[in-house]
Amino acid sequence: MTRTESAVSTPVRTWKRSYAVRLFFTDALSIVVAVAFSQLVWLKDGQSLAISRSLGSNFTPTYTLVSILIALLWLFFLDFFGAREHKNIGAGTIEYRRVADATLRLFGLLAIVAFLLGVELGRGYFLTALPLGLFLLLVSRWLWRQWLRNQQREGNYLSRALLIGQRLKSEHVARTVSERRESGIIAIGALTKLGHTEDDIMPGVPVLGTYKELLPVIDRLCVDMVMITGADDLGPKHMRQLGWDLEARNVELIVAPALTDVAGPRIHARPVAGLPLIHVEFPQFEGRKQWTKRLFDIVGSSILLLLTSPLLLGVAIAVRASSPGPIFYTQERVGLRGRRFGMLKFRSMVQGADDQLASLLDAQGTSDTPLFKVINDPRITPVGRFIRKYSLDEFPQLLNVLLGQMSLVGPRPQREAEVALYDDAAHRRLFMKPGMSGLWQVSGRSKLSWEDAIRLDLYYVENWSITGDMIILWRTISAVAAADGAH
């Protein structure tokens, strides 16, 4: 038995089905709680539904019956709109969007039906059941997803993938998948044109043979999916036959195009004359989406300033009392399209700290690299160390956001000396307003290398969306609470 065979000798083909069953029960519980709570708060026991007399019906159902009907319809809509489809659950934002879409469509339909039939459906269903139910559904999905991520990190609940294609492209896909175990995919082997089995694609991903050995390998290793990474030798007839063979074995077929760092919202598949063409939209840096982002920043920063004002006052008093100097520290940073602005922070260092930066960077040998960070910085005050640990020093930047110099989410603004070290690709960071938080802040913060940080920032610039911004802000709360990786 080979090492690959022993590693996958116990098939886990039914995990998605069992996971969907668990989602069904938590969905049902969330819906029942939301509907029952609404009826309890707004309606009296045994109260009947008021129906227009023009309908000529003597049947007057109670609101309990209506609540049961709404709960059943809600579960049906979640299933009908694919909120529990195997390909959607556990990854990406599409699962959450399907849940929200099904919920809003159901209540929209109920409102239309009630209006057309003259039925006085209780407003409580719309005022409490809709938002409470949607909230409970999304939270339960998020909790299940955290559980699933932990299981996948331990090597459980993974789909075994066999890669087919040119060696270089298969290696890229294998490394990308292995770095993101939360994708739910593990590459167990590869088939190449020549099938040289002495050299692995990467550690743990051996070459198992040539393209002709595909079906025997699938049957022997209990493969869950086949990923075509790019094989010019597989013509249209071979691909069609491959699809039929995989269908008979209940094995997924996935084509991995050579598109890197392009997110789902920019990719649209459209069949033309039987050809599955992939359309890739260009990034959007102006227009309606940018106005929406600006509105989101204004509303979000205003609310956060209002909610955190007592905390900000306490931090200001602590900074002022801890050491001589001003409460706020303003540093010139490079923003949108290279424009300079003064970024606000609570002062966390001694006075004259900037004058010591060059010598400290020279001492640790990092003066010629971006992300100017001093390890064990002696300039930081005790209060400054605490507020940096929990990123409280960054909160005054809400004023920068309100003034339009920054955004709640975006690439972090850097000094002019750091920008001078950019290559051509890194300059695309300046196509978006700098942000208080960003993708690399919630993916490792100061632990990341410059190459990883710029890759994540560029990915954000190319694929940003309001939904993505909200997810990053949610993850920012976890990263700040963990106080992990901040300098």
Q: Answer whether 401's CB lies under 8 Å from 469's CB.
A: no
pLDDT, residue 97, reads 85
Q: Answer whether 395's CB lies under 8 Å from 308's CB.
A: yes
pLDDT, residue 2, reads 43
CA 310 to chain centre: 31
Domains in the chain: boundaries? 15-153, 158-258, 288-482
pLDDT, residue 4, reads 41
pLDDT, residue 182, reads 65
62's CB contacts (< 8 A; 6+ apart) are 46, 47, 48, 49
pLDDT, residue 387, reads 87
pLDDT, residue 133, reads 92
pLDDT, residue 204, reads 85
Q: How far apart are CA 166 and CA 171, in angstroms?
A: 9
The 3-state secondary structure of the chain, one letter per residue: CCHHHHHCCCCCCCHHHHHHHHHHHHHHHHHHHHHHHHHHHHCCCCCECECCHHHCCCCCCEHHHHHHHHHHHHHHHHHHCCCCCCCCCCCCCHHHHHHHHHHHHHHHHHHHHHHHHCCECCCHHHHHHHHHHHHHHHHHHHHHHHHHHHHHHCCCCCEEEEEEECHHHHHHHHHHHHHCHHHCEEEEEEECCCCCCCCCCECCECEEECHHHHHHHHHHHCCCEEEEEECCCCCHHHHHHHHHHHHHCCCEEEECCCCCCCCHHHEEEEEECCEEEEEECCCCCCCHHHHHHHHHHHHHHHHHHHHHHHHHHHHHHHHHHHCCCCCEEEEEEECHHHCEEEEEEECCECCCHHHHHHHHHHHHCCCCCCCCCCCCCCCECHHHHHHHHCCHHHCCHHHHHHCCCCEEECCCCECHHHHCCCCCCHHHHHHCCCEEECCCHHHCHHHCCHHHHHHHHHHHHHHCCHHHHHHHHHHHHHHHHHCCCCC
pLDDT, residue 23, reads 92
- pTM, two decimal places: 0.64
Residues of the chain with pLDDT under 50: 1-12, 46, 50, 52-56, 485, 487
pLDDT, residue 317, reads 92
CATH of domain 158-258: 3.40.50.20
